[in-house]
Structure 1
Amino acid sequence: MNTRTTLARYARGVVTTAALTLMAALTTAAHPVPATAQPDAAAVEFVDAASVPADQLRGFNQPIPLADYLRSHGTSTLARQNAAASAPSDQQDLRQQCASHAAEAKTTNGWIKSRFESCQKRPYDLILRDVRGTTSIGRLWFDQWILGFTHDGDRRVDYVASIENIRVQPIPTEDATKWRVGQHFRSSIDASNSDPDPQVTEPTTKERDELLGVWDRTPQWTLTYTSPDRGPLFDQGNQQRVYSTVTMDLTASSPTAAPFTTGVDNYHSNVRYDYAGKVAGKYKGTVFTAARVELAMSQKDPAVNESALHIYDALNRPERTFPSWPGKTVPGVKEPLHRMVDQSKIDKNRQKSIGECKKVWGDYSGSGLQCDEYPFASTEEGSTKGDNRFSVRLIDGTDNRKGGERLAEMYTLNRILDGDPFYMKITN
């Protein structure tokens, strides 16, 4: 994940120089500041541009790429890294998908693709202004990326963080080469939901506060969190589950600026480490707990079309299902199902469901049909829950077995443990 490539030195051009001169002139005209006027210490602050009145943004609408600004101020831009181009293929793929989910990606939790991949792409637009809120001094734009990768088979999560696409527009008397941006990571453990003695090992470096030019040259860095394990204890009932939250605070500053106060808790990531053993597939692993896991089935899939139709009817046309009662609803779309691994309880669900099938269809032995049940016997919402919000139907035995295989695969591929939620997605 730390593969680095560098780009060639940018060539200085006449067009760029002219553009910088024009922008500076426009800014000075819109916001005249005496050449000798410099804000006192802590007299200015970075704030979200969305909070600034429109009249104070006039003239600050011509962003200058940081590389161009640095060259105009005699600062070298050698060895600049393109984070996207230099990233491994898994990161490039996630970045492309993340960009297509822009609305979710810019939220505090980001876009959570799966139990093993997540990303945040959050654009920032900040104004440097005096603390009285009367004069704007500069504008700063950049994108924050955080790519998250958990691991099925390892108690580890990696975050690839970066500050990219930096643009500035300061007034002539303000030096943007001295502006800084910081990413500050911290983690916490939810001991009340974790198994005994939960621990997380944090990375050695958890903060990076750099000048804009440093971010421009090396935008990307990686943080790795792990949870130590004590070997297989799942047979003793200890799955060594550790629920943890990783949080990031963002800072922006200049030598004369007060602290940026709206960057606290700008990123949240909830993870779970476990050593659950064979019930999880790979004996240990880590997942993003906020991911929405769905078991998808298609009514056009000949292998499971009868299973899919039964589940579709239970979810959307429960009046067609048995047992039948007025106002019946069945969970799985808005309400999640929850996995259950206690084999004796699973068997009781199956026995009750088979009894319901026999009440409706009688003895079906030798017919090649089997009693299909939804919600599944391996869920807490199965037929013995006591609320009668379930359905049974006779379907082809091969179809029924294949549906069970799909369910087991979903459990394993998504590292669904006892009590973990998941949803159904039935397509036509």
Structure 2
Amino acid sequence: MNTRSPLARLARGAVTATALALLTAATAAAHPAPAADAVDPGSALFVDAAAVPAEQLRAFDQPIPLADYLRTHGSTTLARPTAGDPSPPDDDLKQQCASHAAQAKTTVGWTKSRFESCQKRPYDLVLRDTRGTTTIGRLWFDQWILGFSYDGSRRVDYIASIENIRVQPIPTEDATKWRLGQHFRSSISASTSDPDPQVTEPQTKERDELLGEWDRNPQWTLTYTSPDKGPLFDQGNLQRVNSTVTMDLTASSPNAAPFTGGVDNYHSNVRYDYAGKSAGKHKGTVFTSARVELVMSRKDPAVNESALHIYDALHRPERTFPSWPGKTIPGTKEPLHRDSKKVDDNRKRSIQECKKVWRDYSGTGLQCDEYPFASTKEGSTKGDNRFSVRLIDGTDNRKGGERLNEMYTLNRVLDGDPFYLKITD
């Protein structure tokens, strides 16, 4: 493993380079690869196949699995683990990630939840001379990055890999000498973190190796942690650290100039905290790009009145009180934000509105239900009248509150965090 190569240092410095794009290559009739003279060192470079004219790729449409290519070119690389080895614990996430291909191939990947994320990014690179007139070879592979954060630990793990490698070089080009590299780095947003934010990076953050080594050993793991000072939340210090993990991809050949088209090709935003029991487990880490939703059903007998009230507020606000022309209420396109400091004031204001509409309802078994919730910044005291109150069954109202609190704790939703509502039939 070469973690200090000149190529890696050059890749990190090339911050103005553009990210790779995915090629959707059409399948064409097979053509033999053209013969060509050996290429002088530094006279070639890897480029995204999407930037190469289609007619120049017609002779390079027969990908050869790397394992087959290595056998025919005298490689002595060790075989990969085979049957009998236990399945990796990330298999389920990989299958789900593959089913969300459009999101998974983006820079931020697909975020399943606040605790699981993934990127599956297919690559199609062409090695050609610097004049852009001669194609020397083609390289296909899939990049995977699986992210795991934890409720109960200030830690995040990334399982990175390069898999499904295929090649097609001209006869005078040796693909056994091609290399791929993954180079991770992290940064901290001090302006959105609590005082003295720190992240401990893994000892090894870069892997730059020959294709054969990636084929033999596709995966490697990186662990980032944030130290804590014990429970300080009673003093107002939640020890929040907002951090971004970024990865650069590099490709190289002895005959090629360094390739830097994969700079910033992966981003992962995480937050470490020690927020105490209001967040569920006292400390934890989340992927902040996850869309957090409270889902309730109008057919659920336990909360059907709460769900109907929220549905009307979101989709039929003309049926809600207070009533005014053009009224809209956030929660679908506009998120709500938790604000536990406003609970009492919001409830007091909402009960006043209920009594204005329904007068004295004591002794009826009904309670004043409010949406947006009393525990949100968008509650009734915000001042824009974009809220709704309704009398509903007291048991239903309490159960709806329990569902909201469960959503907060299961997703480590802290004050200021956004979330959305989804009401189903």
Normalised by the size of structure 1, how large is the TM-score?
0.91
**Aligned residue type for 2:204:** T
Task: Determine the structure 1 residue equivalent to 2:129.
Answer: 130
1:394 paired to 2:397: no
Unaligned runs of 5+ in 1: 1-24
Contact 2:145 2:161 in 1 (8 A): yes
Q: Partners of 2:186 and 2:340 in 1: how far apart?
A: 31
CA shift digits 1:91-110 (9 cap, x unpaired): 11100100000000000000
Task: Determine the structure 2 residue equivalent to 1:42.
Answer: 42
Once the 2 structures are TM-superposed, how far is the Cα of residue 77 of structure 1 from its aligned partner? Answer: 4.8
1:263 paired to 2:266: no
Q: Partners of 2:246 and 2:212 in 1: how far apart?
A: 25
Task: Determine the structure 2 residue equivalent to 1:413.
Answer: 410
Q: Partners of 2:307 and 2:378 in 1: how far apart?
A: 18
Task: Determine the structure 1 residue equivalent to 2:423.
Answer: 426
- Which of 380, 384, 397 is 2:381 aligned to? 384
Once the 2 structures are TM-superposed, how far is the Cα of residue 41 of structure 1 from its aligned partner? Answer: 1.5
CA shift digits 1:163-191 (9 cap, x unpaired): 00000000000000000000000000001
CA shift digits 1:211-258 (9 cap, x unpaired): 000000000000000000111111111101000000000001001111
**Aligned residue type for 2:358:** W
Contact 2:249 2:260 in 1 (8 A): no
Q: Partners of 1:180 and 1:81 in 2: how far apart?
A: 21
Q: Which moved more, 1:259-268 or 1:404-413?
A: 259-268
Contact 1:383 1:390 in 2 (8 A): yes
3-state SS of the aligned residue for 2:143?
A: strand
Task: Determine the structure 2 residue equivalent to 1:73.
Answer: 73
Once the 2 structures are TM-superposed, how far is the Cα of residue 341 of structure 1 from its aligned partner? Answer: 1.6
Equivalent pairs, count: 395
Contact 2:336 2:377 in 1 (8 A): yes
Task: Determine the structure 2 residue equivalent to 1:293.
Answer: 292
**Aligned residue type for 2:388:** S
Task: Determine the structure 1 residue equivalent to 2:57.
Answer: 57
Runs of 4+ in 1 over 6 A off after TM superposition: none
1:366 paired to 2:363: yes
Once the 2 structures are TM-superposed, how far is the Cα of residue 261 of structure 1 from its aligned partner? Answer: 2.3
CA RMSD between the two structures: 1.3
**Aligned residue type for 2:345:** K
3-state SS of the aligned residue for 1:138?
A: strand
1:316-327 equivalences under 5 Å are 316-327=315-326
Unaligned runs of 5+ in 2: 1-29
Task: Determine the structure 2 residue equivalent to 1:348.
Answer: 345
Once the 2 structures are TM-superposed, how far is the Cα of residue 32 of structure 1 from its aligned partner? Answer: 3.0
1:187 paired to 2:170: no
Contact 1:27 1:171 in 2 (8 A): no
1:148-227 equivalences under 5 Å are 148-227=147-226
- Which of 26, 32, 35 is 1:32 aligned to? 35
**Aligned residue type for 2:72:** S
3-state SS of the aligned residue for 2:132?
A: coil
Q: Partners of 2:359 and 2:366 in 1: how far apart?
A: 12
3-state SS of the aligned residue for 1:363?
A: coil
Q: Partners of 1:191 and 1:82 in 2: how far apart?
A: 46
Task: Determine the structure 1 residue equivalent to 2:116.
Answer: 117
Once the 2 structures are TM-superposed, how far is the Cα of residue 262 of structure 1 from its aligned partner? Answer: 1.3
Q: Partners of 1:188 and 1:82 in 2: how far apart?
A: 38
**Aligned residue type for 1:381:** E
Q: Partners of 2:215 and 2:229 in 1: how far apart?
A: 42
3-state SS of the aligned residue for 2:168?
A: strand
Q: Partners of 1:163 and 1:86 in 2: how far apart?
A: 20
**Aligned residue type for 1:413:** L
CA shift digits 1:136-156 (9 cap, x unpaired): 000000000000000000000
Q: Partners of 2:79 and 2:35 in 1: how far apart?
A: 36
1:12-31 equivalences under 5 Å are 26-28=31-33, 31=34
Once the 2 structures are TM-superposed, how far is the Cα of residue 38 of structure 1 from its aligned partner? Answer: 1.6
Normalised by the size of structure 2, how large is the TM-score?
0.91
Q: Partners of 2:418 and 2:82 in 1: how far apart?
A: 39
**Aligned residue type for 1:41:** P
Q: Partners of 2:171 and 2:383 in 1: how far apart?
A: 73
Once the 2 structures are TM-superposed, how far is the Cα of residue 82 of structure 1 from its aligned partner? Answer: 6.6
CA shift digits 1:106-160 (9 cap, x unpaired): 0000000000000000000000000110010000000000000000000000000
Contact 2:77 2:213 in 1 (8 A): no
Once the 2 structures are TM-superposed, how far is the Cα of residue 426 of structure 1 from its aligned partner? Answer: 0.5
